Chains A and B, each alone.
Chain A
Amino acid sequence: MSNKDIKKATQHVNQNEGLIFERSSPGKKGYRLAPLDVPEVDYKKALGAAARPDLGNMPEVSEMEIIRHFTRLSTWNYAIDLGMYPLGSCTMKYNARVNEVVARFPGLANAHPYQPAEVSQGAMRVMKTLSECLLDITGMDAITLQPAAGAHGEMTGILLIHACLKSRGNPRKKILIPDSAHGTNPATAAICGYAVENLKSNSRGMVDVSALAAQMNEDVAGLMLTNPNTLGIFEQEIDKIAAILHEKGGLLYMDGANMNALVGKTRPGDFGVDVMHLNLHKTFSTPHGGGGPGSGPVACKKMLEPFLPKPVIVERADGTLAFDYDRPQSVGRVRMFYGNYGMHVRALAYTLANGPDGLRQTTEDAVLNANYIRKKLEGDYHLPYQSPSMHEVVFSDSIQEQKGVKTGDIAKRLIDYGFHPYTVSFPLVVHGAIMIEPTESESLEELDLLVDAMKAIAREAEEDPEFVKNAPHNTRVKRLDETAAARKPVLRWKPAAAKSAGE
């Protein structure tokens, strides 16, 4: 096997770089402080026993070395800026640079969360305007921007359900969660004091409505549903699902992770959802930054509004904005201050750059791209569910597995072809899942490169499975020993002397 089929990427030299601690030596400096304009204080005397003797192994390096260090590290990462990042359920779309610029305007970036409202009107207006946009996009009545991420939004939403049902007399005991759900859903239900009951999918990859009807009773507080679900399939019987829940007094929670399939085309509030979260770091293009920050606003129907986390932003009669802390039924704060505000700014900038037409076109392109990939790869890869795909498509490795090549191997080989892998082994309902979400940000050329790469890997799996199983071949590190990392965790650097003493 060779790399002759690889069109998108070429190997190139990149720089080696040790840990920053290994560059450190006493006396090097990367800073200079302005002179102190007040009398100096001997901190050791002022602090007494609370004074710190020294700062141990903290690094001492110059500015030049810092730039090289972090620049070199950065070149070892794949990124959206380099190419397609088809991680299913993660919506890795283009992160516009104007978002970064406006979020750094001093009036916003340097605003203290406790500065008086009269000098924070601009900052609050951003929150208010974003809230209004998100409410129309979701078809909901009320919203909080406080949650810091999707899972945090889930927690907020389930707390709202708990509080609402409790106010009606009984918070109930269980939350239903489909077997295709993200792991955050059951973990969230547990934090909110609910038992988790699994809900099976039917052969079309959707909620089995008759199973739901059988499982629904007065012990069930609600259903956490992702729509489109993690198979990329729209729950076509969504109105029946909502009706079954509502009839027995339960509430419908929607995990908004896949809103990129719906914005401008349909609204969860219209199809029976009572409360949902949005991932601004997915649908609304705020950068994922290697794992975060995110932002997980929660939108809900009127009946849940009294329970929203406090404070809630309100507009006074004179047009000024204020935070309302007088919320006696609130579930409480889920985070200090008002949320990941910097993400609110970026999400609003994204919304303004799109407008209603751009948002709709974005959704259409996202769905078009996923269906294009589906069409092109069907046959080369097994498609476990025939139901139509929305913004992502889930294949399985069952054809390649006959040669011992698994989804994880194909993913690693895709790296050699210049792509970030798709989502591997999720959702759990598909054995050997290959979950591809191209997003709207990919051109036809880039999509074709991915299709070619996937087809080439399918051929390689047939002809030389061992080569695929040992991928990646072109990265600066080869497959890493995760077993050794977990058996004897090394979670921090230690100086050589301490290391050998400890061993």
Chain B
Amino acid sequence: MAYPKDYRYTKEHEWIQVKGNTATVGITDHAQESLGDIVFVELPKIGAQVEAGKSFGTVESVKAVSELYAPASGKVIGINESLNQSPEAVNQDAHSAWMIKLELADAKQADALMSADDYEKYVTEEK
């Protein structure tokens, strides 16, 4: 699956799409594939503060739990409630199955993350 060009990517395999002062965050197609069938996504409460590089939730498969790391700091202004009922959406289309929306503390913070091309290269090398 192609990595959207307007997203930025972390080494921990999250993506972030920045629009002005807000951003949308999810995990990459590569991440969902290596996790296998996702059965549960645990997300923070609206209003919570997240910090870049720190865990903001977890994603679970049947026999593993993985932390979700925030690509940027900010306040949680939205969570994807539909993942409660259908966590499989992450497996089906990781790049549209977003997890949280952030009001960014620093709109420029995500610029330092990898571009789609860099991430694709990173993933190939990691293999």
Q: Residues of A at under 8 Å CB distance from B?
A: 482-483, 486-487
Contacts and interface: CB of A to CB of B under 8 A. Distances in A.
B37 interface: yes
Nearest to A488: B85
13 contacts: A482-B62, A483-B37, A483-B39, A483-B61, A483-B62, A486-B39, A486-B40, A486-B60, A486-B62, A487-B39, A487-B40, A487-B87, A487-B88
Contacts of B37: 483
Interface string B31-45: 000000101100000
A482 to B, nearest CB: 5
Nearest to A408: B63
Contacts of B60: 486
Contacts of B62: 482-483, 486
Contacts of A487: 39-40, 87-88
Interface in B14-69: 37, 39-40, 60-62
A483 B62 CA distance: 6
A486 B62 CA distance: 7
Nearest to B62: A482
A34 to B, nearest CB: 50
Nearest to B60: A486
Contacts of A482: 62
Contacts of B39: 483, 486-487
Interface of B: 37, 39-40, 60-62, 87-88
Majority-rule SS of A interface residues: helix
B16 to A, nearest CB: 26
A116 B43 CA distance: 55
Nearest to B86: A487
A483 B40 CA distance: 10
Nearest to B88: A487
Closest 7 CB pairs of A and B: A486-B39, A483-B37, A482-B62, A487-B39, A486-B62, A483-B62, A483-B39
A482 B62 CA distance: 7
Given A483-B61, A486-B39, 11 more contacts: A482-B62, A483-B37, A483-B39, A483-B62, A486-B40, A486-B60, A486-B62, A487-B39, A487-B40, A487-B87, A487-B88
A487 B83 CA distance: 10
A486 B39 CA distance: 6
Contacts of A486: 39-40, 60, 62
A483 B91 CA distance: 12
Contacts of B61: 483
B87 to A, nearest CB: 6
A487 B37 CA distance: 9
A411 to B, nearest CB: 14
A76 B62 CA distance: 24
B127 to A, nearest CB: 15
A474 B44 CA distance: 45
Contacts of B40: 486-487
A486 B37 CA distance: 10
A287 B37 CA distance: 35
A483 B87 CA distance: 11
Nearest to A425: B63
Contacts of A483: 37, 39, 61-62
A487 B87 CA distance: 7
Contacts of B88: 487
A397 to B, nearest CB: 16
A483 B60 CA distance: 11
Contacts of B87: 487
B1 to A, nearest CB: 20
Nearest to B87: A487
B99 to A, nearest CB: 17
A194 to B, nearest CB: 21
A176 B88 CA distance: 37
A487 B61 CA distance: 9
A487 B39 CA distance: 5
A483 B86 CA distance: 12
A63 to B, nearest CB: 39
B74 to A, nearest CB: 29
B106 to A, nearest CB: 31
A483 B37 CA distance: 7
Nearest to B40: A486
A487 B40 CA distance: 7
A482 B61 CA distance: 10
B86 to A, nearest CB: 8
A214 to B, nearest CB: 26
B30 to A, nearest CB: 20
Nearest to B36: A483
Most buried by A among B60, B61, B62: B62
B32 to A, nearest CB: 13
B90 to A, nearest CB: 11
Nearest to A483: B37
A187 to B, nearest CB: 13
B111 to A, nearest CB: 34
A486 B60 CA distance: 10
